[in-house]
């Protein structure tokens, strides 16, 4: 790829956009940018204008003459784009509040990307990413789609496998955080180590070797429960049993705590919920404070307070991925991409999160090989859950949605499973047109969530 590029960010009013701008400014000499377009919807207009003004101040303070365009017209922005990044949240943080509160009211985890909430985020998001892909096919047919909208693995699988857009890579900040924290624990630099990751988004394991091929994984397992052991800030750090990890000789990602330590994570989530609301409600307050900071016309850098949000480093990973494609860098990154045999126990066209080499041709996954029986079983079950979720999102098939719920280990089979599914469907009616027939049936039967917070969100149209 030659010449300056046009970059379009869908969900441009996100609080993460300053990190994206910082990443592009830092890499400008290797990734010259012609123009940047930030796209949002009417409900996000105010945030788009605030963060867009900060983005322009950041560029104006740099040595580079780059114009940041703001628009609510996605098609206007997409015309002749070279790279499209996606960081949107259908229904905004109010939707996440419902995703988390409703399951917790019934004694189950509402985790926003892995549990019942994560599946509903997929139900809302996948139809919208399909509309974006349809526009891209018409307006920028050669563009790369770099997705960090969660649940990133399922969204990326829908884009590649179901919507037919092969030039797509999904990103996550969890491997990035691990590779930033772990070398310090060993007294080494990242370039001194060889990392290998394999699994699914928010459900991967990894191993670490030195330059002589010595396996350093056991040493890092001993550090995993420490404060700086590589767990993202948004995950409660319940203690892994080290005997289990040493038996596996694999480093689980932070999100594995929800599966290996489900009761401890549920207890903590319920305690937090009763004390002051869900994490989504905490993040809404954090985001409000961030945008107050962003309004300062003297500010022209990414503020340090942004690191308090759990998704920090997503944007920087996106910039690095785009730089690698543009410059044919052939660098190692951990991305969601088509399996193509990297993990033999999963289908070749499944989307997996694995160590890959990123170049002008996209992501080339590195073969991990055979996984131990337990990890193989986990992956096959989780991929089945993902596939049911994607199909339900595409078709509005209630039975498939229920099957996905039953498969998901974080959805407790306590007699409340179907009730939680039904209440979430009704609560998210505005953003689930594919389920409208079922939602009307549920409403006619009187299904609703009587939680005052959820009721107020629905009353105000959220």
CATH of the domain at 11: 3.40.50.720
Residue 62 forms part of a structural domain? yes
Q: Interior CA angle at 419 toward 264 and 127, to 5°?
A: 90
Q: Interior CA angle at 274 toward 270 and 278, to 5°?
A: 70
Task: Name the residue among 124, 65, 71 with its Cα closest to residue 93.
Answer: 124
CB 111 within 8 A of CB 143: no
Confidence bin at 392 (pLDDT 50/70/90) = very high
Q: What is the mean pLDDT of residues 105-115?
A: 88
Task: Name the residue among 249, 149, 165 with its Cα closest to residue 201.
Answer: 149
Mean pLDDT of the chain: 95
Tokens describing residue 17? 């956009």
Q: Please give the positions annotated as active site.
A: 255
Residue 53 has pLDDT above 80, yes or no: yes
CB 43 within 8 A of CB 13: no
CA–CA separation, 349 and 26 (whole Å) = 35
- Cα Dmax for the chain: 66
Q: What is the mean pLDDT of residues 20-42?
A: 96
Element containing residue 137 per DSSP (H, E): helix 116-139
Look at the block and give the residue holding tokens 């992956």: 379
How many CB atoms neighbour CB 211 within 10 A? Answer: 10
pLDDT digits over 289-313, tens only? Answer: 999 999 999 999 999 888 766 556 7
Element containing residue 8 per DSSP (H, E): strand 5-10
Residue 336 has pLDDT above 70, yes or no: yes
Q: Is 80 left (phi over 0), alpha (psi -120 to 50) or beta?
A: left
pLDDT, position 311: 52
Q: What is the mean pLDDT of residues 322-350?
A: 97
Half-sphere exposure of 446 (CA within 13 A, CB side): 0
Task: Name the residue among 18, 386, 357, 30 with its Cα closest to residue 196.
Answer: 357
CA–CA separation, 80 and 86 (whole Å) = 16
Residue 360 forms part of a structural domain? no
Q: What is the mean pLDDT of residues 33-40?
A: 97
Look at the block and give the residue holding tokens 């596996």: 248
The 8-class DSSP code of residue 343 comes to: S
Q: What is the mean pLDDT of residues 241-259?
A: 97
Angstrom distances, CA of residue 158 to CA of 122, 174, 314, 355: 10, 21, 20, 20
Question: Could you give the strand order of the β-sheet that contains 68-71, starting from the edge strand earlier in sequence?
Answer: 68-71, 33-39, 5-10, 83-86, 144-147, 168-170, 331-338, 351-359, 362-365
Residue 400 forms part of a structural domain? no
pLDDT, position 315: 78
pLDDT, position 310: 53
Structural domain count of the chain = 1
Q: What is the mean pLDDT of residues 335-359?
A: 98
Residue 281 forms part of a structural domain? no
pLDDT, position 309: 60
pLDDT digits over 196-229, tens only? Answer: 999 999 999 999 999 999 999 999 999 999 988 8
Residue 224 forms part of a structural domain? no
Task: Name the residue among 330, 305, 132 with its Cα closest to residue 233.
Answer: 305
Q: Which residue has the higher pLDDT, 67 or 278?
A: 67
Look at the block and give the residue holding tokens 């929800």: 258
pLDDT, position 258: 95
pLDDT digits over 131-158, tens only? Answer: 999 999 999 999 999 999 999 999 999 9
Residue 441 forms part of a structural domain? no
**What's the domain range around 133?**
5-169
Residue 366 forms part of a structural domain? no
Residue 71 forms part of a structural domain? yes
């Amino acid at each position: 790829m030659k010449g300056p590029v046009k970059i379009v960010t869908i969900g441009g009013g996100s609080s993460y956009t300053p990190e994206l701008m910082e990443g592009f400014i830092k890499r400008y000499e290797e990734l010259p940018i012609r123009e940047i377009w930030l796209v949002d919807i009417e409900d996000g207009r105010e945030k788009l204008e605030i963060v867009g003004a900060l983005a322009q101040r950041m560029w104006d303070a740099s040595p580079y003459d780059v114009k940041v365009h703001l628009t609510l017209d996605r098609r206007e922005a997409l015309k002749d784009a070279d790279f499209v990044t996606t960081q949107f949240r259908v229904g905004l943080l109010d939707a996440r509040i419902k995703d988390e509160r409703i399951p917790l009211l019934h004694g189950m985890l509402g985790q926003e990307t892995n549990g019942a909430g994560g599946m509903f985020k997929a139900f809302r998001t996948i139809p919208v990413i399909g509309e974006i892909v349809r526009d891209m096919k018409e307006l920028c047919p050669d563009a790369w789609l770099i997705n960090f909208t969660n649940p990133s693995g399922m969204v990326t699988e829908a884009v590649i496998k179901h919507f037919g857009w092969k030039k797509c890579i999904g990103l996550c900040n969890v491997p990035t955080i691990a590779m930033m924290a772990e070398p310090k624990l060993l007294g080494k630099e990242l370039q001194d180590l060889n990392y290998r990751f394999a699994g699914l988004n928010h459900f991967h394991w990894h191993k670490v070797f030195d330059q002589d091929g010595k396996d350093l994984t056991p040493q890092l397992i001993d550090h995993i429960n420490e404060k700086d052991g590589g767990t993202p800030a948004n995950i409660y750090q319940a203690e892994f049993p080290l005997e289990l990890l040493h038996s596996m000789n694999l480093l689980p990602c932070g999100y594995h705590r929800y599966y290996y330590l489900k009761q401890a994570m549920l207890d903590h989530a319920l305690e937090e919920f009763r004390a002051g609301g869900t994490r989504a409600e905490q993040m809404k307050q954090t985001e409000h404070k961030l945008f107050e900071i962003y309004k300062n016309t003297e500010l022209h850098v990414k503020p340090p307070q942004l690191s308090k949000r759990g998704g920090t480093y997503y944007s920087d990973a996106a910039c690095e991925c785009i730089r690698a494609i543009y410059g044919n860098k052939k660098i190692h990154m951990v991305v969601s991409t088509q399996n193509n045999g990297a993990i033999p126990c999963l289908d070749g066209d499944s989307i997996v999160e694995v160590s890959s080499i990123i170049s002008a041709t996209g992501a080339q996954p590195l073969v991990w090989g055979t996984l131990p029986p337990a990890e193989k079983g986990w992956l096959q079950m989780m991929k089945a859950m993902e596939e049911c979720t994607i199909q339900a999102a595409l078709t509005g098939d209630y039975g498939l949605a229920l099957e996905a719920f039953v498969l998901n280990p974080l959805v407790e089979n306590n007699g409340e499973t179907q009730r939680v599914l039904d209440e979430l469907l009704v609560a998210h009616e505005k953003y689930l047109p594919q389920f409208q027939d079922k939602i009307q049936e549920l409403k006619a039967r009187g299904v609703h969530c009587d939680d005052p917070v959820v009721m107020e969100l629905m009353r105000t149209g959220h």
